[in-house]
Structures are given as C-alpha cells and as structure tokens.
C-alpha cells in the first residue's frame, strides 16, 4: 500500500468513527484525531457517571448466526432502565435534511435493565403545526392517518405526558436510564428539530448518553456495516413483528433485537451523546 493510500485510509477511518458518533467529519487529519479523542474521553466520562455498576467487557466471541446460547449467562446490564425510542415524522419523498420534519409519533418501550423485559409502553401521536397536512408519501410510509394527527396533542403536551410517564418509574431521577435508538437520527435530528419548531430547549434527558443500537449491533457481532431494523433482524434469522415504520412497532422490534443481543452476552453500554458543544459544532458546520 502506498503512503498516499495509507494516509487516505486513516483519514477515512477517522471520519467513519466520527460519523458513527454523529459528529462533524470535515477537517484535516490532526483536527479529526483531536475531535475523536475528545469525544471518546467525554463519552467515557459521561457513561461512567450515568452507570451505577461497572460493566465488565465481554470476551464472548458470539457471531450473529449463533443461536442464543444458554451457556452464556445474561450479563449484568449497567442501567436500571432502557427506553426504546423510535419517532415517526412528517416527510416528503427525497426530503433531505433541510426538510422541516415534525414528530408525529412518539413511542417508548420501557425495559427493565435487570431482566431486559418490557415494563410498560408510552405512545402518543403528535399534531404537526408547520406542515399540518401529511403528504401521501408520509401516510403510506408510516401508516399514520390525517385524522389521527388532527386529533392529537401538540409536541409540548406530549413531552409533558411523557415526563409524567417517566416520573412513575423515577426514570432519570432515582433510577439510571438511557434511550436506545436505531441510529443517531431520533435524538440528534428529529427531537432537536422538533424542539426548535416548538421553541423550547432540548430537555436535559436528551443530553444524556444513549445507546445507538445499530452501532452496538455492528460492534458486538463484528459486522462490516451498520444495518437497519429489517437487516438486523434478518442477520439474527428473525422477522419483523407488526408494521415497519410504525414507531411503536419499530421500537418493539428494536427491543426484540436487544433481548437477543443480551441473551448472546451483549452489554448495553451507552455509545452516543448529544451535548450542547456538539450541537453548537453541528450548527457551525451547517452554516459554513
């Protein structure tokens, strides 16, 4: 391999690692290295402070094609609760990042960190205000009807209801917790955009480190690339239960994937965060 090739592979891998963390990937090699080092340091510190017990790293060499192995005892998970979260939003075909997506479904599957079983669910549809009329594409993709969103509360009301739901279980209060999402999009893009639309600050619980299950799955099963829900299920010889792109069904299927990963010895440690500095960095990058 030539020097030039080595150099480009390294820059490429730095960019890939930054992208996996949802960070800006532009810049020269020293900047990229520094950015990655800082992010990892911060993530480790944040992750440790939000966990009560120290998780031991697993040495299990499980592959995705293995069946759940009863010989692998369930590992102690580091958090009291996990909130599987998968929003749906207004959209248009080929809308791109600039499209002002508004959240129209806000579903949570609350899971106990010890048993990894479902404890409760929260689901609310949400009435959009910027584009209150759903596109045909959006209705077809998500299965959500115009009547449903018309009859739903606005985002601020839904957040209040969600906070009451969390308070019942002392989530993020006496109990440690983390969101689990399919990629960085739900919190980094959809919730952040929606808070701007609703003219509110990002609630503090969305600044806590969370689990990007796509990334965890890729790392745990040593996959070449990150996979969406359907492809993660396929890799595990499982099939989707319910309707794809229904937020609650997506969240339930993420939980099924996670249960299988836990049975295979995976530890659900946080691997992403979205703090104020990162948000400012993203805003600067978008303006540049």
Cα distance from N-terminal residue to C-terminal residue, the chain = 34
Contact call for residue 42 and ligand AMP (CB under 6 A) = no
Contact call for residue 249 and ligand AMP (CB under 6 A) = no
What tokens were used for 135?
Answer: 């596109």
Tell which one of 62, 101, 152, 194 touches ligand AMP (CB under 6 A). Answer: 101
What tokens were used for 25?
Answer: 């990937």
Beta-carbon contacts of 44 under 8 Å, excluding residues fewer than 6 positions away, are none
Tell which one of 20, 80, 102, 182 touches Mg ion (CB under 5 A). Answer: 182
- Write down the least CB distance from residue 240 to Mg ion, Å: 11
**Which residues, 142 to 161, sit near ligand AMP by CB under 6 A?**
142
Residues in contact with ligand AMP, shown as a per-residue x/- string from 123 to 142 under the rule CB under 6 A: ------------------xx
Do 106 and 149 contact (CB within 8 A), yes or no? Answer: no
Comparison of 80 and 186: residue with beta carbon closer to Mg ion: 186
What tokens were used for 87?
Answer: 């929003």
Question: Which of 48, 121, 234, 245 is labelled catalytic?
Answer: 245
CB atoms inside a 10 Å sphere around CB 141: 16
User: How many whole angstroms separate alpha carbon 45 and alpha carbon 157?
Assistant: 33
Contact call for residue 194 and ligand AMP (CB under 6 A) = no
User: How many whole angstroms separate alpha carbon 257 and alpha carbon 248?
Assistant: 14
- Write down the least CB distance from residue 98 to ligand AMP, Å: 12
- Binding segment (CB under 6 A) for ligand AMP, from list 23-31, 70-78, 88-96, 113-121: 88-96
Do 180 and 268 contact (CB within 8 A), yes or no? Answer: yes
- Write down the least CB distance from residue 254 to Mg ion, Å: 8
Q: Work out the burial of residue 73: count CB atoms within 10 Å of its CB; fewer than 13 is exposed, 13-18 middle, 19 or more buried.
A: exposed
- The secondary structure of residue 189, as a DSSP letter, is I
- Binding segment (CB under 5 A) for Mg ion, from list 33-41, 110-118, 130-138, 239-247: 239-247
Contact call for residue 245 and ligand AMP (CB under 6 A) = yes
Question: Which of 88, 102, 105, 255 is labelled catalytic?
Answer: 88
What tokens were used for 277?
Answer: 């500095």
- Write down the least CB distance from residue 236 to Mg ion, Å: 18
Instruction: List beta partners, residue 148.
Output: none
- Write down the least CB distance from residue 90 to Mg ion, Å: 13
Quote the distance between the C-alpha of residue 274 and its chain's center: 11
Catalog residues that contact ligand AMP under the rule CB under 6 A: 86, 88-89, 91, 93, 95, 101, 141-142, 245, 250
Catalog residues that contact Mg ion under the rule CB under 5 A: 86, 182, 247, 250
């Amino acid at each position: 391999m030539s020097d030039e090739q080595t150099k480009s592979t390294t820059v490429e891998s730095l960019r890939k690692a930054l992208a996996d963390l949802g960070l800006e990937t532009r810049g020269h090699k020293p900047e990229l290295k520094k950015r990655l080092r800082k992010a990892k340091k911060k993530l480790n510190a944040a992750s440790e402070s939000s966990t009560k017990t120290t998780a031991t790293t697993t040495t299990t060499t499980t592959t995705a094609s293995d069946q759940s192995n009863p010989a692998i005892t369930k590992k102690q998970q580091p958090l009291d609760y996990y909130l599987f979260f998968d929003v749906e939003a207004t959209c248009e075909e080929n809308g791109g990042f600039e499209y002002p997506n508004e959240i129209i479904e806000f579903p949570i599957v609350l899971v106990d960190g010890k048993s990894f079983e479902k404890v409760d669910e929260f689901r609310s549809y949400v009435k959009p205000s910027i584009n209150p009329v759903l596109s045909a594409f959006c209705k077809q993709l998500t299965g959500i009807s115009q009547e449903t969103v018309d009859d739903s509360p606005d985002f601020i009301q839904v957040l209040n209801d969600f906070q009451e739901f969390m308070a019942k279980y002392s989530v993020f209060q006496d109990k440690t917790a983390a969101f689990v999402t399919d990629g960085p999009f739900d919190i980094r893009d959809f919730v952040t955009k929606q808070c701007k639309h609703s003219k509110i600050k990002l609630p503090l619980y969305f600044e806590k480190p969370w689990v990007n299950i796509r990334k965890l799955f890729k790392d745990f099963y040593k996959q070449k690339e990150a996979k969406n829900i359907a492809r993660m299920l396929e890799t595990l010889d499982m099939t989707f239960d319910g309707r794809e792109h229904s937020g609650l069904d997506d969240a339930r299927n993420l939980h099924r994937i996670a249960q299988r990963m836990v049975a295979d010895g995976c530890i659900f440690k946080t691997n992403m965060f979205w703090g104020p500095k990162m948000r400012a960095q993203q805003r600067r990058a978008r303006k540049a």
